[in-house]
Structure 1
Amino acid sequence: MNITSRYFYPAEYQKKSLEALEIAMGTAPLYEDWRALDPGLGTALDQRYAALPELTKKAMREHFPQGLVPNHLQVQDGLARNEIEYTFTSGTTEEKVVNLWNQTWWNQSEAASWKLNAHTACLDYPQKYAQLASALNVGIQCEQDLPMENRILGHNLFLNEKISVMQWQPSHLARMARELKIFKPVILEANPSLLARLAWWAWDTGQELYSPAAILFTFEYPSQIHLAAIRRVFSSPLISSYGTTETGFVLMQCEAGLFHQNTDFCRIDFQPLTARHGGPDLGQILVTTFNNPWTSILKFDVGDLIRLHPTGQCACGRNEGLLVEAIEGRMANATFTTQGDLVTTMALDTQLARIPEIRDYHLEQRSRTQYELQLVLTNSRTDSSAEVLDRTRQALESLYGRDGEFTLTVVPDLLPGPAGKYRRTQANFDFDPKGLFA
């Protein structure tokens, strides 16, 4: 049974899926070895896609720069005409990729995604933006404190110029609060981990923060702990926008809280996990892009696990494409119970979010039965910390197994990863991700 048959796909979507497949297989050099695997036009479209392998970052690196470009176009010509530019994705060595950046296509993909939430659908695109993320991900890098006017490009204000939040002082947080009131952005686009730090500072000091028309979360998994902190000080609707540098805007959270596929700009193929590990509704998505003249991406493994909604019906009334209940974290960040069952970042986050004293955390699974959890607490007094640690240990035992060995440590802060983002869960042993899928 095709699990995605519960969803509705319009004829235009099927047409774009066919066009993307034919263009890529017929003109992009990377797919030359794939052509023998394609059963061809006489076969149902979904079966043709199913017959093809996944596109990996490794393959993209090996075939860069011309590998994903239709053979009637030359990268050097596009660079000379300023139609494209090189851009680097952040991350570890195996995650990093150099991409061809097409700003026009990116803007069109983002504008289409705005239609999937009532709070952005009512706005003209683009709008006045403020952005809060590591300078490794967006904006301007500078070790010096730049004045506000030096951090405004077009209609965008970059609230942060530092590569790490470890460089932030209370004066930087006060500056962000002040600049939000002055600039009055319509949209605040933020890494939720960083915005939560501003929210805690505002709550702890009694400062009021300007609330824009909408807050969009990108860059990393939004912890429920951080969302709760942000809701306390902002009255804006909070919206998660999901995508990648390679694929553009793939999923958008609607006003009812579910995620809708951006069917105008991408195809999604779904691969479920085995029932033991959460399938068939939990699995990975493989993304094919539409409408980008410079890059043909087929079945790109974005690396994240998503949970399908059990029906194709959403309270918001939108009914096209995949309907997603939750984005549960990256496969690379999966951990496992003592019996070997997969645990997503979201599963742990849901447990820890029930403990209000926790502000942040990082869990490292050392072996199949050994777990180390670092915690940042609202109050680090020894007497109160002991009680919180006891409740946290009970939560870990209920999730991972009572035979696990759990080491819990209270720390003053947590360092972000090399890409300026936080990795909250990880297993420090080898496992075969592909062996977890049905």
Structure 2
Amino acid sequence: MKGQPTDAVIQHVRDIPLYQKALAEGYFPLLEKPEIARGFPDNWMTPRLAAALASGEAEFVLSTGTNHARMQIIRPPYFLLRSYYELWSDHPDIAGTWWSGCRRVSLTTVLATEHVARVNAARRGVEPDPVPTLDDRRLDERTCYLNLRLDPATWDRDEVLRMLGEIEQARREHPQGLYHLDCSGYHLAHLVRKALAWNLRDAFPPPASIIHAYEYTPVNVRRYLRRHFDCPVIDLFGSTELGYLYFSDREGRYRPHLDGMSVELLPVADGSTIHELVVTSVRNPYMPLVRYRTGDCVRTSDGEPDPEGIVQFCGRVKELLGTPRGPVAQGDLDRLVGDASDAVFVHRLDVHGGEEATLLYTTFTGEPVGTGESETLRRGLEELTGRRCRIEHRSHLPIGRSGKYAWLTADGA
């Protein structure tokens, strides 16, 4: 039956309480996040898992909660990091930077930095410092985290100099002066803009490779990074509970990385060419997920549900915008903005009921786009959303509590 797990997958889940009903009925329905949490951890507990938890081969962790409510999961220590390192070490464009021993500096949400500092403090049996030192922010011997503020737009000159200095330190630790930059695309773009504004570009050591892997990276942000860095800029897609599933090459084409996994694509609505990603994975042996609804949306090259044909990870199911022509995803708005003007940096669509919307935007230069670009954008938005639209330039759009930007709000909320 289409979408149902193979016999090999069934062997992995045969003893797990959560799946007993599905096993008895011979049919595995879609697995929702609330079902994973209901009765946790007893709904996952097996003798093997209990032994792994006792020995430290498995551990309880929380998902980041940046795209959905935080979810407790069970996994091997460093599960996500090992998935990242495995992909980095095999990547056709940047494997050389892994094998040469590049240090990895990570510039992403302050929540990620705080998590690393908490873990390190817990290992020492102390409370984390309010302002963690560089040593407090080392995930392992190869990776450190840089960001100490929620909103990168508020970084001041001293903060930028500190981060550039920590990048330089990582570069100096490599025999050839190479380092690998891991980032949220937005955060790195903010750092480049500030370095340029304060004439610090020469103090920004050029990376040997870049991966952005923490959130949707807009078309214009990708262009901006490629314009300013003469190295491969790679996108990864994955999650805390699954590891990494897809990666781009340096030209932006996506390829699957589905060891221990299979993927289904289900249309988010009848007739829609936006598909939801449903994953079956035994990569995490302690919490295998069968037909797990990730909540992520994709588009394929021809609109068909072919996991090999994914060309865009376009947002979240919960953030789809209903329109007379069907649901619109974050990636749809982003492509429209990118086609109208490559100057737009951060943008957010505020929807006012069912008839009006306002696109708020910032630019890389701080100046509003031209009249022609603004009008092109307005017309495109009205066609995309089925609403009357206004366009408003802002000097700053605040970041969310998760450290990520909202692309859509209702009534300016």
Q: Is the 8 A contact 1:334 1:343 kept in 2?
A: yes
Q: Give TM-score, length-normalised by structure 2.
A: 0.82
Residue 304 of structure 1: how far off its partner (Å): 1.0
Show the counterpart of 1:360: 346
Letter in 1 for 2:95: A
Show the counterpart of 1:369: 355
CA distance in 1, matches of 2:300, 2:383: 24
Q: Does residue 284 of structure 1 match 2:276?
A: yes
Show the counterpart of 2:394: 411
CA distance in 2, matches of 1:397, 1:182: 49
Show the counterpart of 1:124: 99
Residue 78 of structure 1: how far off its partner (Å): 3.2
SS of aligned partner of 2:384: helix
- Are the structure 2 counterparts of residues 79 and 275 from structure 1 closer, same or farther at C-alpha, using a change threshold of 3 Å? closer
CA distance in 2, matches of 1:363, 1:321: 29
Show the counterpart of 2:47: 72
CA distance in 2, matches of 1:199, 1:78: 44
Letter in 2 for 1:56: E
CA distance in 2, matches of 1:155, 1:116: 17
Show the counterpart of 1:191: 184
Residue 116 of structure 1: how far off its partner (Å): 5.9
Letter in 1 for 2:249: C
RMSD, aligned CA = 3.3
- 1:49-75 C-alpha deviation (Å, 9 max, x unpaired): xx4211111111113113234x22244
The equivalences for 1:90-101 within 5 A come to 90-91=64-65, 95-101=69-75
Q: Is the 8 A contact 1:187 1:214 kept in 2?
A: yes
Residue 85 of structure 1: how far off its partner (Å): 2.3
Gaps of 5+ in 2: 119-127, 172-177
Q: Is the 8 A contact 1:193 1:222 kept in 2?
A: yes
**Aligned residue among 11, 17, 34 for 1:22:** 11
The equivalences for 1:104-183 within 5 A come to 105-114=79-88, 117-122=91-96, 123-124=98-99, 127-138=102-113, 139-140=116-117, 146-153=132-139, 154-165=141-152, 167-183=154-170
Residue 418 of structure 1: how far off its partner (Å): 2.5
The equivalences for 1:183-222 within 5 A come to 183-184=170-171, 186-206=179-199, 207-208=201-202, 209-222=204-217
Letter in 1 for 2:291: K
CA distance in 2, matches of 1:364, 1:332: 16
Q: Is the 8 A contact 2:215 2:404 kept in 1?
A: yes
- Are the structure 2 counterparts of residues 408 and 140 from structure 1 closer, same or farther at C-alpha, using a change threshold of 3 Å? farther
Q: Is the 8 A contact 1:217 1:239 kept in 2?
A: yes
Letter in 1 for 2:117: I
Letter in 2 for 1:374: L
Letter in 1 for 2:10: L
Aligned positions, number: 389
Q: Is the 8 A contact 1:334 1:427 kept in 2?
A: no
Q: Is the 8 A contact 1:335 1:427 kept in 2?
A: no
- Are the structure 2 counterparts of residues 93 and 250 from structure 1 closer, same or farther at C-alpha, using a change threshold of 3 Å? closer
SS of aligned partner of 1:118: coil
Query: Using CA pairs below 8 Å that are at least 6 residues apart, which structure has the higher relative contact order?
Result: 1
- Are the structure 2 counterparts of residues 342 and 311 from structure 1 closer, same or farther at C-alpha, using a change threshold of 3 Å? closer
Show the counterpart of 2:20: 32
Over the matched positions of the two proteins, sequence identity in percent amounts to 20
- Are the structure 2 counterparts of residues 143 and 81 from structure 1 closer, same or farther at C-alpha, using a change threshold of 3 Å? closer
SS of aligned partner of 1:292: coil
- 1:232-291 C-alpha deviation (Å, 9 max, x unpaired): 22212111111111111111113442222223232112213456422xxx3111111124
Letter in 2 for 1:140: A
CA distance in 2, matches of 1:405, 1:192: 31
- Are the structure 2 counterparts of residues 204 and 399 from structure 1 closer, same or farther at C-alpha, using a change threshold of 3 Å? farther
Q: Give TM-score, length-normalised by structure 1.
A: 0.78
